[in-house]
Amino acid sequence: MANDDQEWRLSLLQRLRERNRREVTPFKEIILQNNRLLDNVTQLKADNLKISVENEQLRTAFATGGTGSGKDSNAAQIAIAALEKKLLAQQEELTDLHKRKGENSQMIVDLNLKVEKQQQIIKEKEGCLAEQKAANNMLKAEVQMLKSSLEELKKLNNTLLDEHTALQLAFSALEDKLRGVQEENRCLLERLMRYKSKDADKLNEENESFLRKRSDKLKRDLEDAVREPNSTLPRLTRNSSSHSQHGLGDGDLYENDNDRYSSDTGGIDHCIEAGCGGELDMFTSPNSRLRDVLCHSTTKPENPSTIFMKFDAHENESHAVRWSPIERVLATGGADRKVKLWDVGKASPEPRAVLSGSSAGINSVDFDSTGSYIIGTSNDYGARVWTVGDNRLRNA
């Protein structure tokens, strides 16, 4: 701090010397001339005083020596005249010098005024310099504060970089864990698909076995009916009732034998439509009338004529529909990339649940055998599994 004060003091002194040199140099000749004039005035005053003394001495001598010779008096008069002439010239020169002295004095006064103005300007500059010095000190303090803030920011930046590195490592670990979970989910989905395939194969085998048994039994009943024409109708009645218990007939009760006969023949007609009518072609012509009765004497069931429930399933097209195997719930899939569940038992026009998560339109839906899971396939070659209970996406 002391070095800074010494430097600005030396700088200020040097600037003042340069200013004095710039302001004095143009008037240096005037000052020297003024000094010479003052010297000349002093010298002339001394000469004037000396001449005056000589003049008085001559006058005194002339007054005392008036009775002298004429030559001495003439010489004295000539000397007096010369002295008076010289005195007049000295007075004129002195007047001129006084005049020039006044001019120089006025010039000095003007220069003094300029010096005072310059001193005032110097004071103002010094005040500005003090203000600038104070501002400079404030700026230095601010710079020091900024440097400390910069150091803190650097430390904080290093801390953030360390945290970022740690977060990247944690993110990498989570990505590895996510890949492991996805791989585990894929394995579980493959196992689920294998189990579902096994269940489907088992159900298909059971259905085929049941159909084979039913076809064999119907074939035996028809052969018995052909062999025993008199007991055809009672046996067919029994067979139709047994078929209705297995889901082939309508299972209704009738008041008389005619209605029972119509129901029995309706069950046989349903069996013939299902693909069993080809077995009747093996019978011989004596029993053709019984075959005609079985095939043509009954009335086919009517198609549905009334709408039970109507609703707008999806915003665009509806591509898939499937019944739940355990309750009256309908699943639909459409081009709006959603699977919706409808509670048909309540006849509500609002969906029971909306299953989202697909990135393309749904083209097929299906329940599992327990009705707890639903799978939907979409146009992006993907399959997604939801749980019906909580409507959550389990695997994609």
Residue 34, pLDDT score: 80
What is residue 54's predicted lDDT score, i.e. its pLDDT?
78
Give every strand in the sheet of 329-334, ordered side by side: 318-323, 329-334, 339-343, 353-355
pLDDT tens digit string along 63-75?
665 545 556 667 7
Tell me the two tokens of residue 370: 């327990």
Is there a contact between 297 and 261 (Cβ–Cβ < 8 Å)? Answer: no
Dig out the tokens for 37 from the structure: 């004039």
Which pLDDT value is given to residue 174?
A: 94
Q: What is the pLDDT of residue 301?
A: 53
Per-residue pLDDT, 73: 66
Helices (H), the chain: 2-24, 28-64, 70-227, 232-245, 257-271, 288-296
Distance, in Å, from the CA atom of 77 to the CA atom of 106, rounded to the nearest integer, reads 43
Q: Which residues contact 326 (CB under 8 A, 6 or more apart)?
A: 370, 371
Whole-Å CA distances, 156 to 143, 160, 165, 166, 167: 19, 6, 14, 15, 16
The whole-number pLDDT of residue 291 equals 43
What is the pLDDT at residue 152?
94
- Low pLDDT (below 70) residues in the chain: 1-2, 62-73, 76, 229-304, 396
- pLDDT for 89: 86
Beta-carbon contacts of residue 114 (< 8 Å; ≥ 6 apart): 23
